[in-house]
Amino acid sequence: MSSTSLYALRGLLAHLHATQDWPRLFALLETKPFLADQAEQLGGFQASGADLETYALPAAINAGDWKRFLHFSALALNLRGLAEDLAAPEILRALARSGRTSLDLALDAAGRLADPFRQARALAAIASGCEDGPARQDVLRELEGRLDDLAREAHGQSFFAEDLAVIARDAGPELYTRWRAWIDRLAPGQAPQVWRAVAEGWLWRGDPLAPELWQALAALGNASQILAFAPAGLGAMALTAPGEILLRLEALLPDPLDRQRAGASLHGRCALRYPERACAAWEEWSARSPLVWSTELIDRGREALGRLMPQCIEEIAASIEDPSIRAALRVVVLEARRTSEAAAAALAQLRHVPDGPGKLHWSLRYLTARPAEPKDEVRRQVIGVGRHLHAIGFAAEIGDLARWLDLVALHLSDQTSAQLDAILWSPDLTPENVLALADAVTRPEILDLLLECAERSAAALCPTEGEGFIFRKDLLIRATCRRCVLSESLETLQTIAERLLLEEEDELRERLAPQLAGLAGKGPKLADEVCAGIGDRHLRLVTLLRSTPEIPAGILAPASLYAALARIEILQDECHGLMALLETPADPRELLQRLILPIRNPQIRTRALLRLARHTLAFEISCHDRPDRLAPLELVRWLITTETDDELASLTPEIAALGAEAGGDRATAEVQEAARQLAALEIVEWPVRRDALEDLLARVAAGLLPAPNAAKALITILRLPQQLRPETARQTLRQHWIELLPCIAAAADRLPEKHLRPVRRALQESLRDVSQETARALLPRVAGEASKAEAEIWCGPERDDESAWIERAAHWIASTSPHPSDPRIEPLLARLWNDPESWRPALAWAVQDSLRRGRPQGEAALRLWLHAHLAPSPGRGRPPGLDDAAGAEKALQLALRLGPERSSP
């Protein structure tokens, strides 16, 4: 591209802004692929984001063009969030692989990450994706510099060790000279995980003789950790001389038994690829150091042992005295040879094994490996093992249960369903075991039955319905993955997907695609098909990159990446919540079904439901002689969802206030119950409960209840330290009682003298236990911690100072980015809805300001701006506002693309 074009891409928007040529500026963004060109030619989204924030947004605000403001804000928001989204290692690796332009894009994304640890991890992912060359060396140099900086500041932080371990797996071998220095900065006990990661990095390189690998293993030191991965990893390589490698490995293991374990594992793994070489090495090794036989040793070396010469096996068997170990040897030989002679020998030995889990395990392996003829004999043996399993209530290893089920499916197919049922309803089975069972079985019919009864199993195994629902999903996902991989088809996926929620189906596809991609033959094609069905665009891209090594270049072009990663769902949800308030709530259930229940974000939906309930209540009171106060309460009662107990605690004051609209004794009962439940909700941290209790008391002070009822409610609250159950909650409340007293006193102060007397008495009684010192501690709480500026915002404007106050409030919003679903922000929203014309520009500037601090802050501010833009009128509705809402939705849809498509030449 010519330098003139580059100059235009860099400076055209600035020029149009300087000349205040708004129509041309807007046309450039809306009718031409300017932003896409900019990202492509300048190697990143930084310039596009900066241009939007600096020039396009002020232009839209100055022109008072709010639809365009929303469109550009959403674009800028997505560009801000793009760096976070692109930081997925799979995306970065794919970008690094796809040439210079994409590499620049990846580096740009890594450079824009705010967290230095994430930045380092992103650089490591880019380095691992790059081909060897100067570009890769540049990335590694940059990564080295970052890690040096981080190590200087780390001071033994645990997350640094975790980050280092991830980086070591990606770029460990390349930065070998630096690891010791970085690891030395870690706290004691953190080094092994990083050294292990470094060693794994070397193992993946496939060079068993690399001195750095052995240095890393030596630095790891811990024998059990070395045994966990090194022998198997080394055995999987193309070893020309396994004995030599084993000697090196043994030198790291002081315990002779550990050395034997390592040898058995290494030879066993080696035998999978090079059986002759492994057998020869085993014989040489066993001649060198006499082995202490155990079932564990036999199991580790089973692949090599099974392939030894018969004479050798006989010699080993003769040297073993323990019948269990002898039986294990015969079974592994049977597993390798599968002859009737081997089966007879194994059976003869198994007869001498004493009853117990060991006999069950080896018997099942024997049955799995033995020839299927004669059928009657096999069936009899399977039934015999089944009797034992029934007798012990299926309290066996999950692998053994899976083997048993496979055998039943093979030899007793008419009993498969009944036997699976018996296992599922056995008293000791746990949900985790069933999930492991789904991974371990190999017969499709067992998996089909497991899938069929997934929901019923949830009812049998999970103590709460919530846990059961999650278990159902996990079981369906794991069994479907296994079933599809076993059958190499997607038939089961189609049928099971209907039984999952959309996001759960995405999770299933995300797990299944890489597994299918690992299969030979039609696996990769199936993986592509699975990826294509993922609904979430971000997840689709990541899964595709994870399961398909060769990606078409178009997918990683900036415009395509933007389209895959742009998100407007939260803003749409906010819009829908506000649209419900713009309509007249004559039929609130219809509004709920049409607008509120489809909201995807749970917090926004809960907030929208509460606002709609208030809207309906206000409408009923203003519109009808005999308002139906119960209907909105019932909607809240049955439809509200809370993701966590913390959220429920925070919402409690507002829900109690809504419930109190019923009036009379019920209103008092709601407040009393809210206080009691909050005080007893021990699962939630005290500060969250304290804030909620303070909010509740503030509402009482503000006149939520008539004076006599407020007095009753306060007396009940004052008695909680004596009467609350359970005892532990009561003790906690007594400990922190001093923190609540100022709020109670403030609420009591507003009562008339007639009702104040009993409250004062209860207050005095509750103060009896409080010492003078503790009472003095009250003072800071009374004074409060909020700044003066913040206090001014909550107090509202003074007379003739409205516009200045709005400016201050907008500034506060820009600096703190409060969440619009936060119950505490509700009074500010009420002011904002009342005067949208003044608030809209002020908040628009706040959005521009917040965007500089990242996507979450910008998003929160833009959602608040939507409240000023759509400005509902509770209790009345504002039908003309529905046009604005439709316009806002259109503007948000436009933000899903970086700009118009390029016209074909």
Residue with tokens 């059976």: 347
Q: Which of residues 589-618 bind other proteins (CB under 8 A)?
A: 589-590, 592-594, 597-598, 602, 605
Query: Interhelix angle for 416-424 vs 398-411, to 10°?
Result: 160
Which residue's CB is nearer to other proteins, number 371 or number 664? 664
Contacts with other proteins, 120-159, as mask; x by CB under 8 A: ----------------------------------------
Contact between 723 and other proteins by CB under 8 A: the answer reads: no
Six-digit token string for 794: 């909550």
Cα–Cα distance measured from residue 227 to residue 840, given in angstroms and rounded to the nearest whole number = 65
Give the residue from 173, 166, 94, 118 showing the smallest Cα distance to 140. Answer: 173
Cβ 590 to other proteins shortest distance, Å: 5
The answer to whether the peptide bond before residue 374 is cis (omega within 30 degrees of 0) is yes
Stretch of 92-100, 340-348, 562-570, 644-652 contacting other proteins, by CB under 8 A: 644-652
Contact between 635 and other proteins by CB under 8 A: the answer reads: yes
Residue 899 CB-density burial (10 A; 0-12 exposed, 13-18 middle, 19+ buried): buried
Q: Which of residues 356-395 bind other proteins (CB under 8 A)?
A: 387-388, 390-393, 395
Among 19, 413, 487, 641, binds other proteins (CB under 8 A): 641
Contact between 681 and other proteins by CB under 8 A: the answer reads: yes
Contact between 837 and other proteins by CB under 8 A: the answer reads: no
Query: Interhelix angle for 537-547 vs 558-565, to 10°?
Result: 120
Which residue's CB is nearer to other proteins, number 220 or number 633? 633
Cβ 636 to other proteins shortest distance, Å: 6
Amino acid of residue 567: R
Q: Which of residues 499-558 bind other proteins (CB under 8 A)?
A: 499-503
Cβ 43 to other proteins shortest distance, Å: 39
Cα–Cα distance measured from residue 329 to residue 331, given in angstroms and rounded to the nearest whole number = 5
Stretch of 402-410, 622-630, 790-798, 805-813 contacting other proteins, by CB under 8 A: 622-630
Which residue's CB is nearer to other proteins, number 501 or number 702? 501
CB 564 within 8 A of CB 543: no
Among 248, 629, 852, 897, binds other proteins (CB under 8 A): 629
Cβ 296 to other proteins shortest distance, Å: 25
- Can you give the three-state secondary structure of 257-294, one letter per residue? HHHHHHHHHHHHHHHHHCHHHHHHHHHHHHHHCCCCCC
Q: Residues touching other proteins: how many (CB under 8 A)?
A: 86
Which residue's CB is nearer to other proteins, number 626 or number 776? 626
Own/partner contacts of 679-683, CB < 8 Å, gap of 24 or more, are 679/720, 679/724, 679/729, 679/733, 680/724, 680/725, 680/726, 680/729, 681/645, 681/648, 681/649, 681/729, 682/726, 682/728, 682/729, 682/732, 683/645
Residue with tokens 């400990």: 735
Six-digit token string for 290: 């006499």
Q: In 177-237, which ranges are E strands? A: none
Give the residue from 747, 748, 746, 736 showing the smallest Cα distance to 774. Answer: 736
The rounded radius of gyration (Å) of the Cα atoms in the chain is: 34
Cβ 466 to other proteins shortest distance, Å: 5
Give the residue from 88, 161, 163, 175 showing the smallest Cα distance to 126. Answer: 88
Which residue's CB is nearer to other proteins, number 625 or number 773? 625
Cα–Cα distance measured from residue 204 to residue 220, given in angstroms and rounded to the nearest whole number = 17
Among 824, 876, 882, 887, binds other proteins (CB under 8 A): 876
Which residue's CB is nearer to other proteins, number 72 or number 394? 394
Integer distance in angstroms from the first to the last C-alpha of the chain? 18
Q: In which region does residue 289 sit, left (phi positive, over 0), alpha (psi from -120 to 50) or beta (all else)?
A: beta
Other beta carbons within 10 angstroms of residue 217's beta carbon come to 24
Contacts with other proteins, 565-594, as mask; x by CB under 8 A: -------------------x-xx-xx-xxx
Cβ 721 to other proteins shortest distance, Å: 19
Q: Which of residues 656-675 bind other proteins (CB under 8 A)?
A: 656, 658-659, 665-666, 669-670, 673-674
Which residue's CB is nearer to other proteins, number 65 or number 645? 645
Contact between 623 and other proteins by CB under 8 A: the answer reads: yes
Which residue's CB is nearer to other proteins, number 462 or number 756? 462
Cβ 639 to other proteins shortest distance, Å: 6
Cα–Cα distance measured from residue 266 to residue 738, given in angstroms and rounded to the nearest whole number = 66
Which residue's CB is nearer to other proteins, number 392 or number 756? 392
Contact between 643 and other proteins by CB under 8 A: the answer reads: yes
Q: Which of residues 281-310 bind other proteins (CB under 8 A)?
A: none
Which residue's CB is nearer to other proteins, number 811 or number 819? 819
Which residue's CB is nearer to other proteins, number 315 or number 467? 467
Q: DSSP letter at 555?
A: G
Among 340, 622, 731, 735, binds other proteins (CB under 8 A): 622
Contacts with other proteins, 416-445, as mask; x by CB under 8 A: --x--xx-xxxxx-----------------
Cα–Cα distance measured from residue 883 to residue 889, given in angstroms and rounded to the nearest whole number = 10
CB 708 within 8 A of CB 665: no
Q: Which of residues 453-472 bind other proteins (CB under 8 A)?
A: 455-456, 458-460, 462-466, 468-469, 472
**Cα angle at 902 between 898 and 903, to 5 degrees?**
150
Among 15, 141, 380, 637, binds other proteins (CB under 8 A): 637
